[in-house]
């Protein structure tokens, strides 16, 4: 039997505000436990939540970015459940009236086709605290610093059809929230994570199969692996004549498997109701217009523009627009150097060095102005592209700017034809057999001669001149 996979993702993006969603306590990561838990966070009686306006702006930006409806009126609701890391006994979320609805994003698939994934809704809510078990001598500690941190929960339609597509979708959402500057997207710190809902159905069947939900996936790799494991597991159960139980599962990355966490029968009845402590959020057309006018250029628009403006290829542009910082860096280089060379270098040597040393582009050891200078030296024939890689490595190692290194290491290209001619004549004189081969029509031997000349000049002879001169002399 042929199975079709159906996936819907619920992504939690932590919003990049200074203070919490309903109080002035700091949201900075990594502080000592409970130092950022004020009275509102602790749920003391008599205190009232006050909505942080920044989260409304951020949610509205997201809504506009995914072509969604930003609701003129949305309502906070209490989601009631008991857990030690939730001091109030309820989480403030949005339920029936979320701030964002009916959006979509377009994914480019491997075969180049475009696939639209619907975004059902995105709603604002507060995060819970954290239970700590390590180094506590068998006890459990509660850290409420994270409680009250603003989250945007982004819920997709069940439009996704493979683990790979799920990762593609999640990467695009990640890219968008980072472009918008509404989340730092830091997955190690839990600022960007997702729950994956997975089911399978016989191909051709309209009705969805029963789904399971894999909770709290915090890396793209885990999303792909957990979903693939779950697909295999469900197919195996069904092919053995069993039934899928609707349940919540956890992914164990050490064992690369998902395990049941709780079944539907244990599912909570959250008794949602509108929070009487908070007013509905009303967004006027003027407010929305102001948000719209402050929107940055989004990834797709930027990619289209880079192709148009610099004549680059789609594959290069995808690398260059991976983040706003990357695109800004490229444009800063291209402002004073050849754009195609700038693209080659940013996608090639620079990306390689950043990856190798695990450095973010914003902390690059070679800044845009320095890379532009290096590229100018290729364009004006001071050095060859090959020597430039050597210069770049020295720049990356902190040995100085391009001009400085070229001078200090004596790497300036030899363009003086007299000097090149002397070497060319010597190489021809030293290799009579190869000369004969060339004259017998074996054109490929030219490469041998070029190599010899380059070797003799430590790669500094201008390759164009060398080629031309060798051809002329070998023919005569």
List of residues contacting ligand ADP (CB under 6 A): 6-10, 155-158, 197-199, 208, 211
Instruction: Specify the residue, 198 or 388, whose C-beta has the smaller distance to ligand ADP.
Output: 198
Instruction: Specify the residue, 121 or 452, whose C-beta has the smaller distance to ligand ADP.
Output: 121
User: Least distance in Å: CB of 14 to ligand ADP?
Assistant: 19
User: Least distance in Å: CB of 124 to ligand ADP?
Assistant: 16
User: Least distance in Å: CB of 30 to ligand ADP?
Assistant: 30
From the list 439, 77, 430, the residue with the least C-alpha distance to 451 is 430
Phi, psi of 418 (to 5 degrees): -60, -45
Instruction: Specify the residue, 119 or 453, whose C-beta has the smaller distance to ligand ADP.
Output: 119
User: Least distance in Å: CB of 84 to ligand ADP?
Assistant: 23
Does residue 198 contact residue 16 with C-beta atoms inside 8 Å? no
Instruction: Specify the residue, 207 or 440, whose C-beta has the smaller distance to ligand ADP.
Output: 207
User: Least distance in Å: CB of 114 to ligand ADP?
Assistant: 20
User: Least distance in Å: CB of 275 to ligand ADP?
Assistant: 19
Instruction: Specify the residue, 29 or 270, whose C-beta has the smaller distance to ligand ADP.
Output: 270
What distance in Å separates the CA atoms of residue 395 and residue 403, rounded to the nearest whole number?
Answer: 10
Instruction: Specify the residue, 208 or 448, whose C-beta has the smaller distance to ligand ADP.
Output: 208
Using CB positions, name the residue nearest to ligand ADP.
Answer: 8
Q: Which residues of 185-223 are buried (b: 16+ CB within 10 A; e: fewer)?
A: bebeebbbbbbbbbbbbeeeeeeebebbbbbebbebebb
Q: How far is CA 284 from CA 73, 74, 281, 417, in A?
A: 9, 12, 10, 72
**Pairing mode, if any, of strands 141-143 and 130-132?**
antiparallel
């Amino acid at each position: 039997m042929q199975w079709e996979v159906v996936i819907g993702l619920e992504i939690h993006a932590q919003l990049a505000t200074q203070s919490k969603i309903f109080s002035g306590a700091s949201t900075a990561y990594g502080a000592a436990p409970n130092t950022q838990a004020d009275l509102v966070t602790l749920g003391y009686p008599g205190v009232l939540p006050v909505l942080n306006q920044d989260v409304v702006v951020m949610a509205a930006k997201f809504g506009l970015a995914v072509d969604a409806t930003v609701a003129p009126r949305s309502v906070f609701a209490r989601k009631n459940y008991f857990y030690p890391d939730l001091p109030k006994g309820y989480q403030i979320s949005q339920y029936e009236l979320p701030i964002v609805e009916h959006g979509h994003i377009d994914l480019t698939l491997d075969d180049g086709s475009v696939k639209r994934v619907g975004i059902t809704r995105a709603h604002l809510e507060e995060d819970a605290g954290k239970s700590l078990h390590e180094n506590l001598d068998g006890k459990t500690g509660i850290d409420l610093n994270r409680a009250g941190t603003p989250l945007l929960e982004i819920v997709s339609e069940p439009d996704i059809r493979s683990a790979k597509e799920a990762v593609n979708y999640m990467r695009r959402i990640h890219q968008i929230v980072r472009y918008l500057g509404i989340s730092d997207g830091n997955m190690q710190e839990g600022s960007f994570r997702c729950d994956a809902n997975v089911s399978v159905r016989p191909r051709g069947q309209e009705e969805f199969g029963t789904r399971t939900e894999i909770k709290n996936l915090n890396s793209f790799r885990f999303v792909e692996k957990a979903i693939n494991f779950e697909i295999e597991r469900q197919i195996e159960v069904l092919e053995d004549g069993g039934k899928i139980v609707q349940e919540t599962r956890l992914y164990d990355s050490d064992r690369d498997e998902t395990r049941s966490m709780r079944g539907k029968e244990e599912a909570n009845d959250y008794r949602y109701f509108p929070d009487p402590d908070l007013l509905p959020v009303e967004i006027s057309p003027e407010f929305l217009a102001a948000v719209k006018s402050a929107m940055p250029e989004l990834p797709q628009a930027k990619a289209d523009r880079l192709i148009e403006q610099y004549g680059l290829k789609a594959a290069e542009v995808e690398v260059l627009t991976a983040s706003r910082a990357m695109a800004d860096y490229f444009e800063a280089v291209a402002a004073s150097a050849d754009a195609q060379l700038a693209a080659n270098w940013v996608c090639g040597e620079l990306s390689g060095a950043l990856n190798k040393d695990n450095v973010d582009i914003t902390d690059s050891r070679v800044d845009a102005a320095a890379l532009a200078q290096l590229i100018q030296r290729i364009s004006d024939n001071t050095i060859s592209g090959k020597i430039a890689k050597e210069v770049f490595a020295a720049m990356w190692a902190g040995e100085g700017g391009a001009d400085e290194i070229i001078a200090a290491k004596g790497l300036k290209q030899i363009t003086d034809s007299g000097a090149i001619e002397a070497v060319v004549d010597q190489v021809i004189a030293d290799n009579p057999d190869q000369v004969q081969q060339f004259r017998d029509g074996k054109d490929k031997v030219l490469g041998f001669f070029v190599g010899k000349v380059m070797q003799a000049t430590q790669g500094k002879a201008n390759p164009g001149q060398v080629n031309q001169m060798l051809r002329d002399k070998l023919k005569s």
